[in-house]
């Protein structure tokens, strides 16, 4: 095979080092295609012209990165990136150590090929060596798996869409049926906000945060941040059900009804599914506030059109610029935006307000004014996380100082993917994995006695469960009824199994594992850690 031996040896080395996957049949097909002897030079040239792009495509296929079609689908968004951010993104796809490792193996194979006939060894290394190695790996995974204790089984049953008693590796049809059943059950769920006899004695402030998951807090050493300790209810396993901002905002704003597929988000919904319609029915005035312009990804339009929050955003112009976005847009200081809004909209006991606030301060590519994202926006992520958490902590202090009764809800849109995983580079969010969609959602009842420590909810939850909590808080009004506390409200929080999805990829928890499905493909076990 000549130089082709170097190609296959480099890929085999990357596979055994667990940098890439290796499709045995496709790689064998390519190997035999380049081995096949051809007498005429023109046919050898034609084969080379076909084999080289095929080899490049096969290498990409084996890298575990999302299908190339998904990158093409993001073309419209990519066109809005600044040049410096586009260069930074390109650099992340190239891992220097992996590249040097692969090139080193290629040249070692080239040198040995001058003394040895490597083709036979390469073919044996592809088959049967790889199938035997994969069987051994699976056996090791089974040996290392936790024992099926009652606790593990109970947690799996709570979080999984699998039917009771399901065990073993599921077939595609099993997961498809379970997912269909999940959406059918979710279609029956609804949270209705009846107008209380007395006007609610508190405001509602929902802060939706771009790019902050539990995994990101661990990466930035902020999992024990003071802000989280100042909350009353902390949802430890809240699933945002998506890894993109627009769909996350729509899901939150439609949270009065059960979870739908990604496609259904962009179809009309019943009027009672829209959360802020329910707030209005309960006696609240609707408001929206952003610390950005809402242009990228048609964010503002999606909030208004598909989220049903058809009000103009309140002004954020008095606030100073904290960051410049990856597209060069202005992102305002979170505390100044929120504090200015509170000043302009004082609490009115006879006309409470429900405010939706969206912040993109943590979005990848943001950087301080006067710098460019090519200076390392990813490395600045921890700094931005600390500043945002500090700003929101100051917000609680301000509300307390103003003695403003407020149900304050923190809910990230999705994580940043700052760690990355075996199938996507850091800060890439195409696959809605648990590391990206399990976020720190929290509630603080400002103006009521603070819980000694947050009440933690370990069961899997999602938007309709949070909507149910807000419905109960409005109906029972802990600000008027001393017998209603954060603990009594937390006791009735419902649960939702883990299902996440974007336009062409779905991730579910089935039994004890997570499974990923690309549109048009088969379900595959998703080992995201």
What percentage of the chain's residues is helix, strand, coil (to nearest 5)?
A: 45, 15, 40
Contact criterion met (CB below 8 Å) for 329 and 292: yes
Per-residue confidence (pLDDT) for residue 490, from 0 to 100: 97
Q: β-strands 203-209, 321-324: how paired?
A: unpaired
pLDDT at 418 over 80: yes
Farthest-apart Cα atoms in the chain, separation? 91
Q: What is the mean pLDDT of residues 465-471?
A: 98
Give the pLDDT band (50/70/90) at residue 48. very high
DSSP output for 112-128: HHTTS--HHHHHHHHTT
Strand partners, 330: 324
Rounded to 5 degrees, φ, ψ at 212 are -155, 100
Which pTM was predicted? Answer: 0.83
* Dihedral-angle region of residue 298 (phi above 0 means left; psi in -120 to 50 means alpha; beta otherwise): left
Per-residue confidence (pLDDT) for residue 425, from 0 to 100: 82
Report how far residue 136's alpha carbon sits from residue 165's, in angstroms, rounded to the nearest whole number.
27
The dihedral of CA 233, 234, 236, 239: what is its sign? positive
All domains in the chain, ordered by first residue: 3-143 (no CATH), 189-496 (3.40.720.10)
Range 251-288 burial, b when 16+ CB lie within 10 A, else e: bbbbbbbbbbebeebeeebeeebbbbbbbeebbbbbbb
Q: Using one digit for the tens of pLDDT, what is the confidence trace for 81-131? A: 666 666 665 656 666 777 786 678 777 777 776 666 788 888 888 887 677
Per-residue confidence (pLDDT) for residue 150, from 0 to 100: 33
Q: Using one digit for the tens of pLDDT, what is the confidence trace for 164-179? A: 777 777 999 999 999 9
């Amino acid at each position: 095979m000549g130089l082709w031996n170097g190609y296959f040896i480099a890929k085999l080395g990357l596979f055994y080092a667990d940098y890439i996957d290796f499709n045995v049949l496709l790689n064998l097909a390519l190997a035999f295609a380049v081995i096949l002897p051809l007498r005429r030079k023109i046919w050898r040239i034609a084969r080379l012209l076909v084999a080289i792009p095929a080899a490049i495509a096969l290498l990409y296929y084996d890298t575990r990165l999302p299908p190339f079609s998904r990158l093409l689908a993001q073309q419209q968004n990519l066109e809005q990136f600044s040049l410096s951010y586009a260069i930074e993104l390109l650099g992340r796809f190239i891992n220097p150590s992996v590249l040097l490792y692969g090139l080193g193996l290629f040249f070692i194979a080239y040198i040995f090929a001058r003394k040895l006939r490597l083709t036979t060894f390469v073919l044996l290394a592809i088959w049967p060596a790889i199938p035997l190695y994969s069987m051994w790996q699976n056996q090791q995974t089974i040996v290392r798996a936790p024992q099926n204790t009652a606790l593990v089984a109970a947690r799996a049953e709570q979080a999984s869409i699998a039917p009771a008693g399901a065990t073993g590796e599921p077939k595609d049809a099993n997961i498809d049926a379970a997912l269909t059943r999940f959406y059918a059950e979710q279609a029956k769920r609804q949270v209705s906000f009846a107008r209380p006899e007395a006007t609610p004695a508190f405001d509602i402030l929902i802060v939706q945060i771009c790019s902050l998951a539990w995994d990101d807090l661990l990466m930035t050493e902020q999992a024990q941040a003071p802000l989280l300790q100042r909350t009353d209810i902390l949802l430890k396993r809240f699933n945002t059900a998506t890894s993109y901002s627009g769909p996350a905002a729509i899901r939150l704003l439609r949270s009065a009804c059960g979870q739908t597929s990604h496609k259904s988000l962009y179809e009309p919904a019943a009027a009672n599914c829209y959360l802020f319609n329910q707030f209005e029915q309960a006696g609240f005035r609707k408001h929206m506030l952003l610390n950005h312009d809402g242009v990228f990804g048609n964010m503002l339009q999606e909030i208004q059109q598909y989220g049903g929050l058809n009000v103009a955003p309140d002004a954020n112009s008095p606030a100073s610029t904290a960051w410049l976005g990856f597209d060069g847009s202005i992102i305002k200081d979170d505390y100044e935006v929120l504090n200015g809004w509170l000043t302009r909209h004082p609490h009115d006991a006879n006309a409470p307000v429900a405010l939706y606030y969206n912040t993109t301060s943590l979005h990848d590519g943001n950087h301080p004014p006067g710098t460019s994202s090519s200076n390392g926006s990813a490395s600045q992520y921890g700094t931005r996380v600390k500043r945002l958490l500090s700003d929101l902590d100051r917000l609680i202090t301000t509300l307390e100082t103003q003695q403003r009764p407020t149900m304050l809800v923190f809910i990230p849109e999705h994580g940043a993917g700052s760690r990355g995983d075996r199938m996507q580079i850091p800060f890439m969010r195409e696959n809605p994995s648990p590391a990206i969609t399990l976020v720190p959602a929290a509630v603080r009842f400002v103006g009521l006695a603070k819980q000694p420590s947050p009440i933690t909810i370990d069961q899997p939850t999602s938007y309709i469960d949070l909507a149910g909590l807000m419905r109960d808080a409005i109906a029972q009004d802990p600000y008027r009824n001393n017998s209603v506390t954060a603990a009594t409200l937390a006791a009735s929080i419902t649960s939702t199994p883990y299902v996440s999805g974007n336009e062409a990829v779905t991730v579910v928890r089935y039994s004890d594992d997570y499974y990923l499905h690309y549109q048009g493909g088969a379900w595959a076990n998703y080992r995201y850690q």
